[in-house]
Structure 1
């Protein structure tokens, strides 16, 4: 009985569907082309999801609060261009990382101030900031590629153990720590509390404005951290680097069970969602289709999951209303029952 109740509890978790979906994708790809199931290929899928995973973790903070950040693609592109240029010119990778983080802090602060303080809708604010950041990126690079990255820096992404890169291992460790903080620590639960009921959060004294600002800063910093790994993995930066990563990150969160309305989901689901997003193009190649369908499939998945989530939420709201109505009706009936003992027994 205990094992059955445990399994029932697991299957009810929102991220469970993303795990099943991932296994189904890998299973179908392996049936069509058994070479997909080779250990080396699975490791490549995991390592290839590192950048998406970090971006999804950052995006999760923003979505938890009921907002959206459409600027992480531009943030990643600009941070990658600056970091790559610094590393190419002989600066240390640590210095490049710190500068990239500083870029993320500035962009995240602008986004957070516009949304949390000025009240600008997050989608409008972040799309505008994304355009500005893209413009800076073009000006900074002169529209040219940043190439000739030192080999020793590119080789960092190949280092690791058991087939997993140190970047991916570190990302998973960070994800686990963040998941613990968000679910177990009081300050971590602020993000979901704000997204679940912002007015209620204000009434009980939670720092709603600060929480939203911090979520945007974390999101932008995650994009900047991902940009340095992007440079190491890819080895060059183009003016279009990071383009579309915002949709990938949002889709990863939604597929991982994080509700766009805010307040629901966790980092584990976002991690599985990021792995799905990173694996789609690879799966397409193994099943004999062009990887050009990647963005199309991502869009279809995003729309499908959002629609399903909206239907489920509507159903839950209606169910709660019916239960409240049934309870009130039963209470009224009890008042009308004759006989004394059955009347208004609220204890």
Structure 2
């Protein structure tokens, strides 16, 4: 009798929107969008176009993976777009100076990691708000990119790492393979390491994590450094694609990255999310952008649509928090037995 009553009660419980969205909802949105674009956008489902979509989303997807790490700790990083510019500029200048391609790539990533260290240190050790810190570094690094290049692109027709952005391996664009490697690394960190559990713990409740022995400041600093390194890698790939150093590179990319992360199910409050969902969110944005281009939608209209998508992403995150808030409210309202 008790079993049947429990089953009936369970069937009456409201659906957990957060779990439903993370497991099914975001994937259904992607499938529906692909079907829609295949029906209305000319040549959308051609194999060469799909490869172009994959190449196009690779940079934003790498940025989104980096942003996932930061947002899981309850932070935000608005400087990733500017890191793309600075890292790309440094790597191209190094390559022109005769630095071997692997060293130029590593140097670009090192610059990104150094920028991330500054963000992490100011956030963790000076307890400054991540939004303000990264807003400041975003502006500073963008100005630094303009200063180094004197506001002009630095073009190199024989850039030694150009294949990183334009080459193919086994018939697959190299940027797509790099993106897959980045996601495999982030997935392994979050799902298979103690460090990954510490990232979730810090985002869930930093004070509780500290009492449990987690080195919160170390985790925060290292997460921003890791995100900076991946952003630097995205900057090198961007420069390889356009075969030049562009001081304007990455402008506005941080918004697309945040939208992809939230669409993928990661909570802006931290402590909850999956990098696999972030990848799906990045693909959704890439499919949407490519479809709009194939439909000859004006650029300013594309901006309007992207703005709506970002607002929807934040609204979805808010809806996902409601079941938790409601359950906490019910728990607080339960009378204490005397």
Q: Do the two structures share a fold, i.e. TM-score over 0.5?
A: yes
1:183 to 178, 181, 191: 191
State the secondary structure of the residue aligned to 1:257. Answer: coil
- Structure 1's consecutive aligned runs of 4 or more residues displaced over 4 angstroms after TM superposition are none
2:204 pairs with one of 196, 208, 217: 196
Instruction: State the shift of 1:261 in Å.
Output: 0.5
SS in 2 for 1:262: coil
- Structure 1 portions without partners, runs of 5+: 1-7, 336-347
* Match in the other structure for 2:128: 120
1:236 is matched with: 244
Contact 1:88 1:149 (8 Å CA) reproduced: no
Deviation per residue, 1:197-226 (Å, 9 max, x gap): 112111111111111111111111111011
8 Å CA contact 1:18–1:256 kept in 2: the answer is yes
Instruction: Give the corresponding residue for 1:140.
Output: 148
Residue 152 of structure 1 deviates from its aligned partner by: 5.8
Q: Assess if the C-alpha contact under 8 Å between 1:46 and 1:164 holds in 2.
A: no
Q: Is the 8 A contact 1:40 1:163 kept in 2?
A: no
- In 2, are the aligned partners of 1:137 and 1:239 still within 8 Å (CA)? yes
CA contact (8 A) 1:47 1:164 kept: no
Gaps of 5+ in 2: 1-15
Does the 8 Å contact 2:203/2:270 carry over to 1? yes
* SS in structure 2 of the partner of residue 215 of structure 1: helix
| Aligned alpha-carbon RMSD (Å) | 2.3
1:293 aligns with 2:317: no
3-state secondary structure, aligned to 1:37:
coil
- 2:13 is matched with none
> Could you say which residue in structure 1 is the equivalent of 2:59?
51
Pairing partner for 1:220 from 228, 232, 251 = 228
Number of equivalent positions:
323
SS at match of 2:273: coil
Once the two structures are TM-superposed, the CA of residue 274 in structure 1 deviates from its matched residue by 1.8
Q: TM-score, normalised by structure 2?
A: 0.88
Q: Is the 8 A contact 1:160 1:166 kept in 2?
A: yes
Segment drifting more, 130-139 vs 59-68: 130-139
Task: Give the structure 2 partner of residue 68 of structure 1.
Answer: 76
Residues 77/276 of structure 1: CA separation in 2 closer, same or farther (3 Å cut): same
Structure 1 contact 107–220 (Cα < 8 Å) conserved: yes
Deviation for aligned residue 1:319: 2.9
CA distance 1:183–1:117, shift in 2 (3 Å): same
Residues 48 and 211 of structure 1, relative CA distance in 2, 3 Å threshold: same
Deviations for 1:294-341, whole angstroms, at most 9, x for unmatched residues? 43323221221212221331333113432564xx55x84xx8xxxxxx
Task: Name the CA distance, whole Å, in 1 between partners of 2:59 and 2:279.
Answer: 11
Whole-Å separation in 2 of the counterparts to 1:202 and 1:323 = 25
Matches within 5 A, 1:1-347: 12=20, 14=22, 16-150=24-158, 153-161=161-169, 163-322=171-330, 325=333, 328=334, 332=337
Q: CA deviation at 1:157?
A: 3.1
What secondary structure is seen at the aligned counterpart in 2 of 1:243?
coil
> Is the 2:239–2:246 Cα contact (8 Å) retained in structure 1?
no
Retained in 2: the 8 A contact 1:280–1:294?
no
Partner SS, residue 36 of structure 1: coil
Deviations, residues 120-143 of structure 1 (Å, cap 9, x unaligned): 111101111111111111110011
Cα-to-partner distance string for 1:34-71 (whole Å, 9 max, x where unaligned)? 51111111111112111111111111111000000001
- Is the alpha carbon distance of 1:252 and 1:155 closer, same or farther for their aligned partners in structure 2, counting shifts above 3 Å? same
Quote the Cα distance in structure 1 between the aligned partners of 2:244 and 2:305: 26
Write the distance in 1 (CA, Å) between the matches of 2:188 and 2:75.
22
TM-score scaled by length of structure 1:
0.86
